[in-house]
Structure 1
Amino acid sequence: MSTYILVPGMWIGAWAWQQVTAALRAEGHDVHPLTLTGVADRAHLLGPDVDLDTHVEDIVRLAEVEDLRDIVLVGHSYGGMPVSAAALRLRDRISSVVYVDSGPLPEGMSQLDAYGEATDATEDAMPVRSWDSEADPVLLADLDEAALELLRTRSTPHPLASVRQPLGARATSADFPTTLIACTFPRDQIDQMMAAGHPFFAALTEAEIAYLPTGHWPMLSRPKELAALLS
């Protein structure tokens, strides 16, 4: 059986992994869904100093305090940023790294460098995105009304400093067995982007690629299928 640390993307916490966690535990795995500092049940810790380093430390401390080993370290969306850095610090404890519709950006690049500055951000936080499936049918694909309502009621602003801070040293697919679970990028587009050396995939040249066609939040849209790919 495997040990998992599940790291969510922006605005959501460990709660979003509930169905995936249950499915993996039902198979006997040891599963640790994580809420990053400043978000969800840790939203009271939000502040201008909660940066990418803070979120890397969240992952490292969980692994060390719980003495977790042979870890499958899973990062969804933004969660791939701290996961890729934490993996290097936890090198002796990691068995593999999985990116869920995510990946390690190049060193020196921030999340906002990749996706653009948010003009409506406050001093401390990125406001919660609109969970309007009609306005964004690609990223929000396959989310039923119950899942969308969960996202609307439970999402919280995300620490701005964490998405502004450039990524430092990080793991690539040459460092650990690595899997990319691609949801919103079709296979031919990934092949083209990798061939062109696109920064989204530059550190994943040796990764195994699994495809789960759905929206950007597969832990809510297709949790059983996601759990099966993780296991």
Structure 2
Amino acid sequence: MATFVLVPGAWLGAWAWEDTARALRERGHIALPMTLTGLGENADRADRHANLETHIADITGFVERHALHDVTLVAHSYAAAPVTGAAGRLGERLARVVYVDSAPFAQGMSMLDLLSPQETEQLRGRVVDADGWRLPLPSFEELGASSSLEGLGEDERELLRSRATPHPFGTYEQPLTGPAEPAPGVDHVLVACSDFTALLEAGVPMLAFLSQPPWRRFDLATGHWPMLSAATALADVLDTAVT
């Protein structure tokens, strides 16, 4: 039995993990989805000062508040940034870190470092047009241009569209500081969905480390939101990764 803490990506809350968490519990695991500040049911608990440190504190506080040990910490997409920070601070509480369609951040790196200057300016424009500090969910046409929507039917798209929350943009702007490496002996797992798998197979240099020890890689043939498009299959992969 493993203890999973499931951290959602941008615009999402704990709700996104419901089906995967249920499937993990059916397999005998403890599965605890969480919601970061400013998102989901915590949408009213943030202001323009929310940043990456806020979300790192959310994760470490969740683990400590629930007195958890031997934690398998799971990051989807954007959550790779705060999960990397939290993994460096949880010490012996952490048994394993799993990156779902994402990768760990280096110290000094921010989400905006993953984007071109043009893409960054486009995002800043959307933030200003919204309320000056939150980034709305892009349209599915825009998301489909950069991330696979494979496996998301109309019901899943409507769920994402209706429950997504504008994301605090300060979490994209602030670089990761503090320890960025988990304690020695922590297991490292990557779950790569279709587009990410293609990047790895293409031999992108900055991702080469993910195909080398101590990393263990699992491929999942679905789009960027596997907890919505392939919830049971994702639970199967996570179950396999901890057994």
Structures share a fold, TM > 0.5? yes
CA deviation string 1:38-92 (max 9, x = no partner): 0111111231111100100111011101100110000000011111110111121
One-letter code aligned to 1:220? L
- How far 1:187 moved relative to its partner? 4.0
Alignment RMSD, CA only? 2.2
Counterpart pick for 1:190 among 200, 217, 221: 200
Aligned residue for 2:133?
124
The CA distance in 2 between the partners of 1:59 and 1:23, in whole Å, is 22
1:148 is aligned, of 128, 147, 157, to 157
Partner of 1:55: 55
CA distance in 2, matches of 1:138, 1:158: 18
Give 5+ residue unaligned stretches, structure 1. none
Q: Structure 1 residues 174 and 192, CA, compared in 2 at 3 Å: closer, same or farther? A: farther
**Of 164, 187, 190, which aligns to 1:177?**
187
SS in 2 for 1:103: coil
Taking structure 1 as reference, are residues 150 and 90 closer, same or farther at Cα in structure 2, changes over 3 Å only? same
How many residues were matched structurally?
Answer: 228
What is the CA-CA distance between 1:21 and the residue it aligns to?
A: 0.5
Unaligned runs of 5+ in 2: none
Question: Residue type of the partner of 1:101?
Answer: D
Aligned counterparts of 2:68 and 2:182: Cα–Cα separation in 1 = 21
1:128 Cα shift? 1.3
Match of 2:43, SS?
A: helix
In structure 1, the residue matched to 2:229 is 221
Q: What is the distance in 2 between the residues matched to 1:228 and 1:138?
A: 23
Q: Is the 8 A contact 1:10 1:78 kept in 2?
A: yes
Relative distance call for 1:187 and 1:174 in structure 2 (3 A) is farther
SS in 2 for 1:82: helix
Quote the offset at 1:172 in angstroms. Answer: 6.4
Distance 1:109 1:137, change over 3 A: closer
How far 1:105 sits from its partner (Å)? 2.2
Query: Structure 1 residue 216: deviation in Å?
Result: 0.4
Residues 129/85 of structure 1: CA separation in 2 closer, same or farther (3 Å cut): same
1:188–1:50: structure 2 CA closer, same or farther, 3 Å change rule? closer
Measured at CA, do residues 111 and 184 of structure 1 come closer, stay the same or move farther in structure 2, by a change above 3 Å? farther
